[in-house]
């Protein structure tokens, strides 16, 4: 997200597996104290988020997160924030947690969309 949003002119496809803007929308492991100080990620990237010209080449912004993943609220919050800025992300909630087998399934679903 940190790279793709600032450089949408270089990325037509963005896939986010079991993640989002960590430390921004809650979620995370119990006891984690990674709350940001100062301007939020959204405030720091507002110009890029609202730049319609940058969004023109974006063909797919794809998120998937397992319902048992400790980052589910982070994913949901990130998707909601992107929608507020005029993005149209695909968001899929699947069975599973924060595991390799879940991500392997996401890759299997996401990769073919790159070649349509």
Distance of CA 115 to the CA centre of its chain: 21
Find how far residue 60's CA is from the centre of its chain. Answer: 12
Q: What is the pTM of this model?
A: 0.85
Per-residue pLDDT of the chain (116 residues; tens, 9 = 90+): 888 988 888 999 999 999 988 767 655 554 454 555 788 889 999 999 999 998 998 999 999 999 999 999 999 999 999 999 999 999 999 999 999 999 999 999 999 999 98
The pLDDT value recorded for residue 37 is: 73
CA distance 53 to 34: 33
Q: What is the pLDDT of residue 31?
A: 45
Give me 73's structure tokens: 């609220």
CB atoms within 10 A of CB 98: 17
What pLDDT is attached to residue 28? 53
Query: Residue 30 has what pLDDT?
Result: 46
- What tokens appear for 68 in the block? 């048992």
């Amino acid at each position: 997200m940190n790279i793709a949003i600032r450089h949408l002119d270089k990325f037509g496809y963005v896939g986010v597996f079991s993640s989002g803007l960590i430390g921004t929308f809650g979620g995370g492991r119990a006891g984690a104290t990674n709350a940001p100080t100062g301007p939020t990620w959204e405030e720091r990237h507002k110009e890029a988020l609202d730049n319609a010209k940058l969004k023109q080449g974006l063909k797919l912004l794809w998120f998937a997160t397992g319902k048992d993943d400790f980052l589910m609220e982070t994913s949901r919050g990130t998707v909601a924030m992107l929608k507020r800025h005029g993005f149209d992300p695909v968001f899929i909630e699947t069975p599973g947690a924060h595991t390799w087998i879940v991500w392997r399934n996401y890759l299997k679903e996401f990769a073919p969309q790159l070649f349509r």
